[in-house]
Amino acid sequence: MTKEMNLEERFQNYVDQENKIEPKDWMPEKYRKTLVRQISQHAHSEVVGMLPEANWITRAPSLRRKVALLAKVQDEAGHGLYLYSAAETLGADRADMVQDLLDGKAKYSSIFNYPTPTWADMGAIGWLVDGAAIANQVMLCRTSYGPYSRAMVRICKEESFHQRQGYEIMMTLAKGTAVQKKMAQDALNRWWWPALMMFGPTDDESPNSAQSMKWKIKRKSNDELRQEFIDKTVPQAEYLGLTIPDEHLKWNEETGHYDFGPIDWEEFYNVIKGNGPCNKQRLGARQKAHKEGEWVREAANAYANKQAERARKEKGAA
Ligand code: BYC
């Protein structure tokens, strides 16, 4: 017991000195579990997050838009893979993580349970959803767990391109015909509040924050990041000539930040409990893809077994 406490104290000191924790280092079991929870949820978010945009690949309005959207959606798949690998360095089994997602036991970001009825949603997702993801992930580049932090550096570079392509779609629509501008405004109206919910509950309602901040897994709180995102995004909306759907939004000279209206937390908890507009559709799509990919997994396993058998024989013969 005393030995364990000493180890925990040493661990905290090591983290306080801004050192990175690597997979073979000693770590408290709760630190490991928190990371597996957060990183696997993050990986699931990337993979489920491909679905709302994939919906528009075949209907992109030009070849250029199609190529960019296709590349973006593929990037999200890659992000999911880096993140599952990062979680595996903590001893988590990828098949178990994926099964938890498919069984509806694991969370993924609330934002991906909303529909994408028009092309303007592709603009709003890139601008707002990737924009919010960048705010959160830039902070995670400095997270205390080495493999997670290194995955974030690469992911952030790709997310910046995603954000730019989304903003450029919004700019084209906002400066286009009256109908196009209305499409852009409607998409902003649909995505604004769900994007603010991406940062998670307010700090006083966030059960995991205090410990995660102490261990430097999280470096900024949910509310701090949400405020940063709002402060950065409001001028971007102004530049587009679009209106943020919040009558309480107002620059506050004293705080140097925008004040904003109340977030509908009932909607947020409803979505994360599985009752959002598209939760069933999203999980259904993942379950179908997993089933259809069964032969690929079987073939890859058969090939790996064959290679291992060959290596064993060669070693035996040597
Ligand atoms: N949605 O104590 P809290 C992308 C849960 S994808 C669902 O504050 P924590 C992209 C939370 O998990 C990248 N659940 O938790 C892809 C916890 O539940 P459990 C998305 C949420 O972990 C495709 C409970 O509520 N980014 O960029 O300290 C196309 C209490 O919360 C949400 C990430 O995944 C939510 N929004 O902080 C385009 C970021 N918020 O686990 C773009 C990685 C909270 O106790 N994750 N919950 O049952 C994080 O940074 C942190 O986990 C959070 C929450 C800030 C989200």
Q: What is the pLDDT along the chain (318 residues), one digit of tens a residue?
A: 556 569 999 999 999 999 999 999 999 999 999 999 999 999 999 999 999 999 999 999 999 999 999 999 999 999 999 999 999 999 999 999 999 999 999 999 999 999 999 999 999 999 999 999 999 999 999 999 999 999 999 999 999 999 999 999 999 999 999 999 999 999 999 999 999 999 999 999 999 999 999 999 999 999 999 999 999 999 999 999 999 999 999 999 999 999 999 999 999 999 999 999 999 999 999 999 999 999 999 999 999 999 999 999 999 887
Question: How far is the C-alpha of 155 from the C-alpha of 96, rounded, in Å?
Answer: 24
Quick check: CB of 208 below 6 Å from ligand 1? yes
Residue type at 205 in one-letter notation: E
Q: Which of 51, 157, 208 best tests ligand 1's pocket when mutated (most atoms within 8 Å of CB)? A: 208
Question: Is residue 250 classed as helix, strand or coil in its secondary structure?
Answer: strand
Quick check: CB of 209 below 6 Å from ligand 1? yes
pLDDT of the residue at 2: 55
Query: H helices of 89-145, where?
Result: 94-102, 120-124, 131-140
Quick check: CB of 107 below 6 Å from ligand 1? yes
At which residue do the structure tokens 């309005």 appear?
A: 61
pLDDT of the residue at 4: 59
Length in residues, the chain: 318
Question: How far is the C-alpha of 294 from the C-alpha of 13, rounded, in Å?
Answer: 46
46 C-alpha to ligand 1 centroid (Å): 11
**Which residue's CA is minimally distant from atom 27 of ligand 1?**
133
The pTM of the full predicted model, rounded to 2 decimals, is 0.95
At which residue do the structure tokens 């960048």 appear?
A: 134
Cβ(257)–Cβ(231) under 8 Å?
A: yes
Cβ(286)–Cβ(48) under 8 Å?
A: yes
- From 91, 75, 110, select the one nearest 36 (Cα to Cα): 91
- From 24, 16, 8, select the one nearest 213 (Cα to Cα): 16
pLDDT of the residue at 317: 83
